[in-house]
Structure 1
């Protein structure tokens, strides 16, 4: 379950090696040349993904082990997130950004801290449900101090699905012999299916004029041009909705929370970011999302946060389709091989002072820095929604720090940002406490 910690521990035992054996017939490497072969189209995902990418007996994009099987839905998703469609999607995101700004403003006026894990996860789920299938009901508008059913079910899904994928027979064992806590977790996860089906019904009942901006509508329109055998049955859509919920919210919500945490503890870097934002947007009421995508220091803040704290930090396993040669050893096809965003992002010969959070390093990034920055994966099966996710992140962080300053909340000076992962990462404490002060008119 603690995949990243295990790999780092084994790598640290052999500091002079780029490649280690982490299990029978399984290696982990930081060799960037081997990485290109590990993630090419000849590779096959490990069975972990088959379990992780299956919901109610339906395989979704993550669960297809070979590239040809995954390609149709992957390619359609990539088309949805191309630049020509991002304009419409960003318009959708804008309203949610403003809603979050209103929440932060209220908490600032009350001099209250916020929990970034909850606050930004609710925002991310609002964005992803609206962008993906045009959901109109928002979670942020219902914040009352309690955990919404949707969020509780989603957290259960994240934990339970990762456990089930990692431990063969876990579902059967917990069903008959599990403790009350584990049975509850399994039940809460199961309820997310009800949430997805209810959302699908609302989507199906919308008039045709409403089906022109969300990703589900775009995908169905693309499928209409294909043969009937290749089309996604309506009864399979909830599985894809659940997959896209997970993929589209974890990366953005935790990355925003982590970036705010780091900027609060690096006031000089926060000042540099705000200077860039004030120069580009002298009027705080006129922030153009399209201009945020080209601000170099803002991009550096996000890349540096995701380098040190990637949202899928651990091994991305593949059965080799071709042999690789590492440190003079020939690794034959069929062996399970992996790299990891966490270990690639901390290579000392690529990133000077790799443990130091320094956004300015990206202002003059070289080819090796870009090659080893893999928070969205790499190669033929990298995240098809990375373009949208990075756009969301720039819009959110840029808007927040044009309007607010962040600082360390009283009593949280000793907080440490420590990752824990069960496939996707999070804060080990389950919280990221933040304090925002409204400061739209001065740097």
Structure 2
């Protein structure tokens, strides 16, 4: 101890020695805390994850946050330390506590869910603050309103089928085409948009689509990594600065749509924008949606309402190209149910169609990685007690890969859902879990069943023809699944 005091005293004479001393003391303090005082010191995990969040941030920057957490679970078991005072688990009972009303979201959500000074549903950290706006959205998307909201959906899918008919026998990028369809549907549902992206499709990327892509990728990155936005603004490349600008301009699209909506003397009474506007007059102040907040809500719903459906539809088609027998079963179910015209509402009750979509979302969830919460109460996992205040998470990818629940979890097998167990449904979490799960999941599943059902009553999907397209596999990244090299999902459709 005396020698340490002497070293510290001597180091004060030199700036370099002072810097070394500060670093040394910091390391001693960090090691001491991590291994002797941390509330997760008894949880299995690598030493470096206990000491620094840098490995997790590095994986996030590489869009491999999901893989990082999954790899640690595979090595250490049901629960593992993935960063200082942060654990990740697949325990089902713990999942119920992690996502109950007493837990709080982390700063990622407050950043992601804050748009130019307005906090939207995603951005409220605690449940009581989120409940009013969340309940507003649930009211919009409940079953009694679905029939009105989706009344024009089949016309958009019909336009999509016209594009497929024109491109039959050609390789197409399913990610791009399904995204155009999903955005046409969601803008119609949200504010009754009549102008469609599919009808104006060309080799030029529409401004709206460019802004939307920027919002989906850039906004997530700056929310995950502290200081990322400032870094891009000051020293970022031209590409990243353009992405930042396009992301910032996303609300311009929403405001332009709002202006068109207000200028039209007649529009649908039951689009989501109409519902939100009507809530501004509610007697209960907690249920009101101020007019100036609506563009932020529109931006949030655009992202949430189109990304999941577009990618899931594309990857369902991709999975069917790899499993032609499943394609034949789906084709037969649709023919038996609809020998003539399709009655869209009946698509909701077709078991194999439901199974095909659920299996795709199990294996390739659109938000696959850890959904973090500050524990509101303690939880016990494998005999290890983890106190309140620790950051804890589960992930849709990991819950869907549990071999004890889903035998042969790496295989895409829709049949497993035809007699699904309670544990299968419990661990199927592509829309999140618990008190803050996605309020639009009902609409998303309706949209997916309409898409896949109408398309596969007229077409079958086969392997792409070009060798490079055929060989490319899909890679599970943090935000969306994408081609391992190109980011595309190549498909080829044939008329039945």
Same fold (TM over 0.5): yes
* 8 Å contact from structure 2 (residues 279, 288) kept in 1: no
Determine which structure has greater relative contact order: mean sequence separation of CA pairs < 8 Å that are 6+ residues apart, divided by chain length. Answer: 1
Q: Which residue of 2 aligns with 1:213?
A: 270
Give the aligned partner of residue 397 of structure 2.
342
- Aligned position for 1:45: 105
Shift of 1:203: 1.6
Partner residue, 2:365: 310
Task: Extract unaligned runs of 5+ from structure 2.
Answer: 1-59
Residue 69, structure 1, aligned to residue 129, structure 2 = yes
Task: For 1:227 and 1:386, locate their aligned partners in 2 and report how far apart those are by CA, in whole Å.
Answer: 26
1:245 aligns with 2:293: no
Q: Which residue of 2 aligns with 1:82?
A: 142
Give the match for residue 157 of structure 2: 97
TM-score (norm 2): 0.85
Please tell me whether residue 259 in structure 1 is matched to residue 321 in structure 2.
Answer: no
Query: In structure 1, which of residues 60, 66, 72 is the aligned counterpart of residue 120 of structure 2?
Result: 60
Q: Residues 269-418 of structure 1: matches in 2 within 5 Å?
A: 269-283=326-340, 286-410=341-465, 411=467, 412-418=469-475
Shift of 1:83: 1.2
TM-superposed CA distance for 1:425, in Å, is 4.7
**RMSD in angstroms over aligned alpha carbons?**
1.3
Alpha-carbon offset, residue 219 of structure 1: 2.3
Matched-pair contact (CA < 8 Å) for 2:475–2:481: no
CA distance in 1, matches of 2:144, 2:396: 29
Residue number among 271, 275, 290 corresponding to 1:233 in the alignment: 290
Do the aligned partners of 2:473 and 2:483 also contact (CA within 8 Å) in 1?
A: no
How far apart are residue 168 of structure 1 and its match?
A: 1.3
Give the Cα separation in 2 of the matches to 1:280 and 1:240: 38
**Aligned partners of 1:311 and 1:426 also within 8 Å:** no
Question: Contact conserved, 2:104 with 2:375, CA < 8 A, in 1?
Answer: yes
TM superposition outliers: structure 1 runs of 4+ over 6 Å = none
CA distance in 2, matches of 1:256, 1:181: 29
Structural mapping, 1:135-150, within 5 Å: 135-150=193-208
Q: Is the 8 A contact 1:90 1:289 kept in 2?
A: no
| 1:427 Cα offset (Å) | 4.3
Q: Matches of 1:263 and 1:229 in 2, distance apart? A: 46
Shift of 1:149: 1.2
Confirm or deny: 8 A CA contact 1:263 1:406 kept in the other structure.
yes
The count of corresponding residues between Structure 1 and Structure 2 is 431
1:200-233, Cα deviation, whole Å (9 max, x unpaired): 11122232x4241211211222342234575322
What's the TM-score once normalised by structure 1's chain length?
0.95
Mind listing any 5+ residue stretches in structure 1 that lack a counterpart? none
- 1:192 is the counterpart of 2:236: no
Instruction: For residues 261-286 of structure 1, give each alpha carbon's deviation from its aligned partner in whole angstroms, at most 9, with x where no partner exists.
Output: 01011110000010100000001xx1
Offset of 1:347 from its aligned partner? 0.1
Q: Deviations over 1:319-338 (max 9, x none)?
A: 00111000111111110000
Matched residue SS, 1:138:
coil
- The answer for the alignment partner of 2:218 in structure 1 is 160
Asked if the contact 2:133/2:287 (under 8 Å) is kept, the reply is no
Give yes or no for contact 2:470–2:490 (8 Å, CA) kept in 1.
no
Deviation at 1:426, TM superposition (A): 4.3
What whole-Å deviation, never above 9, does each CA across 1:353-383 have from its counterpart, x for those lacking one? 1111000000000010010000000100000
Distance in 1 between the 2:125 and 2:451 partners?
Answer: 34
Residues 1:437 and 2:494 aligned together: yes
Paired position in structure 1 for 2:8? none
| CA shift in 2, pair 1:425/1:317, >3 Å | farther
**CA distance in 2: counterparts of 1:304 and 1:230, whole angstroms:** 36
Structure-2 change in CA distance of 1:61 and 1:268 (3 Å): same
Aligned equivalents of 2:111, 2:391: Cα separation in 1? 17
- SS of the aligned residue for 2:334 comes to helix
Residue of structure 1 in register with 2:73 after alignment: 11
For residues 290 and 492 of structure 2, the distance between their equivalents in structure 1, rounded to whole angstroms, comes to 46
| Structure 2 partner of 1:27 | 87
User: Using the alignment, how far apart are the partners of 1:152 and 1:417 within structure 2?
Assistant: 23
| Deviations 1:301-353, CA, capped at 9 Å, x for gaps | 00000000001100010000111000111111110000000000000000011
After superposing the two structures, state which structure 1 stretch, 209-218 or 153-162, moved more.
209-218
